[in-house]
Chains A and B, each alone.
Chain A
Amino acid sequence: MRRSVSIAGLAAALVLGTLGFGAGQESYVASAQEKMSTMEVKIDNFSFGPVTLTVPVGTTVTWINRDDIPHTVVSTDDSKTFKSKVLDTDEKFSFTFSKAGTYPYFCSIHPKMTGKVIVQ
């Protein structure tokens, strides 16, 4: 009795599992997309890494300062799209890019430090 139940249960699980796997596959991809929609730029040694970051529309980019000196992240396009406060070591700044385009930026304290986010 139990065995048949368990077999049925197993079969049901398999069926459900298959169905679930199908649906799960979609959600797997979705969560992978979610994972990709946050990208990180590391600030260290007076430079942004990577210098140029290409991301899909809707991505949130997080800059994190690993340097032992404070830095800022300030966009240099005409509309001054984003501007962080001063980031001391280990502080972060995030911005979500909802429009395609090229977004150059720099550190306003050390203007030689420049970077670019390309949103496609």
Chain B
Amino acid sequence: MSEKKKDELLHDHNYDGVDRRGFLKCMAWAGTGAFCVIKGGVLNSYSLSRVSEISAADMMGELSFVQISDSHMGFNKPANPDVAGTLKAAVDKINALSSAPEFMLHTGDISHLSKPEEFDTVDQILKSATPKDVFYVPGEHDVLNDDGKQFLERYGKGSKGAGWYSFEKKGVHFIGLVNVMNLKAGGLGTLGHDQLEWLEDDVKHLKHSTPIVVFGHIPLWSVYPEWGWGTDDSAQALAYLKKFGSVTVLNGHIHQTMQKVEGNVTFHTAASTAFPQPAPGKADSPGPMKVPAEQLKSVLGITDVNYVQGKHALAVVDSSLA
């Protein structure tokens, strides 16, 4: 399939003994439900259906969290007239993970039309997820009528500017970025000068060995500029992160999983919990992709991330809702 392509993207600058080739091969299986953990520098992969047979010690890294994205609460057209139902299915999937995630990241497009009742519904559904803490960044659908004021009121406490912020968990430094404000005609996502300055300052004093996780809505690498799938000033942001041994970038927006490894940086996009979108260039436009009802859950999903102290790469695993 695309395994060869993934192998070509390999760079092993870390010399940390991590079997990246195997890791990426595992990622290619992830869509069918593989669970990979890097422990002691060795990659172990398990089929999700056998996950209950694995011992907790083998399963657990030291930090475990889940990324969900693009819930688009309020969308009600083909291929999914019930985005609340599929979000609930995603929560069920999260609650069934045997290694309970500590918290969740939502990489934006929480709502479809920035309506208060849409945000309320998502909040309500996520209350039944085991991980109680959720960290949000906005998608372009969340900042529609009020320059993002409502988003900030609901989810932006302690954040700067349009809602960027950082926090630490078990020695891993998380950075939430906003690249959906002040979009220019003909352009891609944009971070803007103020946010870039803040980012430079935020990471300035961190040790190079600190694992970094950056999360933001629009991909921070050029997935497909023709459809606006990229961020015009992300190179500057990545330059500030160059010194770190492990950087994981988690994005949403494109409603399909995609992964790219470049040096110490692993880029990863999550599936949506609402509707899929076509692969780059495979349709006239990036709108909702219609699939037969029985296939819908197999093209929606969640992403489970595990980190083991001392090992550089985070294990990032996608699983579909089917």
- Shortest distance from the beta carbon of A39 to any chain B beta carbon, whole Å: 21
* Chain A residues whose CB sits within 8 angstroms of the CB of B140 once the complex forms: 109-110
* Chain A residues whose CB sits within 8 angstroms of the CB of B286 once the complex forms: 46
| Contact between A86 and B287, CB atoms less than 8 A apart | no
**In the assembled complex, B46 has its CB within 8 A of some CB on chain A:** no
* Chain B residues whose CB sits within 8 angstroms of the CB of A109 once the complex forms: 140-141, 144, 183
Given A70-B113, A86-B145, A88-B113, does the pair A111, B188 have CB atoms closer than 8 Å?
yes
Q: Which residue of A lies closest to B283 (CB)?
A: A45
| Contact between B183 and A111, CB atoms less than 8 A apart | yes
Q: How far is the CA of A88 from the CA of B112 in the complex (A)?
A: 10
Which residues 43-74 in A have Cβ within 8 Å of B in the complex? 45-47, 67-70, 72
Label chain A's interface by main secondary structure.
loop
Q: Which of B186, B188, B288 contacts A69 (CB 8 A)?
A: B288
- Shortest distance from the beta carbon of B11 to any chain A beta carbon, whole Å: 31
Q: Which of B145, B187, B284 contacts A111 (CB 8 A)?
A: B187
| Contact between A68 and B288, CB atoms less than 8 A apart | yes
The interface size of chain A toward B, counting residues with CB under 8 Å, comes to: 22
Which residues 76-130 in B have Cβ within 8 Å of A in the complex? 77-78, 112-114
B residues apposed to A, CB below 8 Å: 77-78, 112-114, 140-141, 144-145, 183-188, 226-228, 284-288
- List 20 additional contacts besides A86-B114, A104-B185, A112-B228; criterion CB under 8 Å: A45-B284, A45-B285, A45-B287, A46-B287, A47-B285, A68-B77, A68-B78, A68-B287, A70-B112, A70-B141, A86-B113, A86-B145, A88-B113, A105-B185, A109-B141, A110-B228, A111-B188, A112-B188, A112-B227, A114-B185
- Shortest distance from the beta carbon of A41 to any chain B beta carbon, whole Å: 16
Chosen A-B contacts, 8 in total, with CB atoms closer than 8 Å, are A46-B227, A68-B288, A70-B141, A108-B183, A109-B144, A109-B183, A111-B185, A111-B228
Q: Which of A70, A85, A114 contacts B186 (CB 8 A)?
A: A114
**In the assembled complex, A37 has its CB within 8 A of some CB on chain B:** no
A residues apposed to B, CB below 8 Å: 45-47, 67-70, 72, 76, 85-86, 88-89, 104-106, 108-112, 114
- Shortest distance from the beta carbon of B244 to any chain A beta carbon, whole Å: 30
| Contact between A112 and B145, CB atoms less than 8 A apart | no
| Contact between B287 and A106, CB atoms less than 8 A apart | no
- Shortest distance from the beta carbon of A43 to any chain B beta carbon, whole Å: 11
* Chain B residues whose CB sits within 8 angstroms of the CB of A70 once the complex forms: 112-113, 141, 144
Given A110-B228, A111-B183, does the pair A69, B287 have CB atoms closer than 8 Å?
yes
Q: Which residue of B lies closest to A105 (CB)?
A: B185
Q: How far is the CA of A11 from the CA of B208 in the complex (A)?
A: 101
| Contact between A112 and B187, CB atoms less than 8 A apart | yes
* Chain B residues whose CB sits within 8 angstroms of the CB of A67 once the complex forms: 287
Q: How far is the CA of A35 from the CA of B287 in the complex (A)?
A: 33
Q: Which of B144, B185, B227 contacts A86 (CB 8 A)?
A: B144
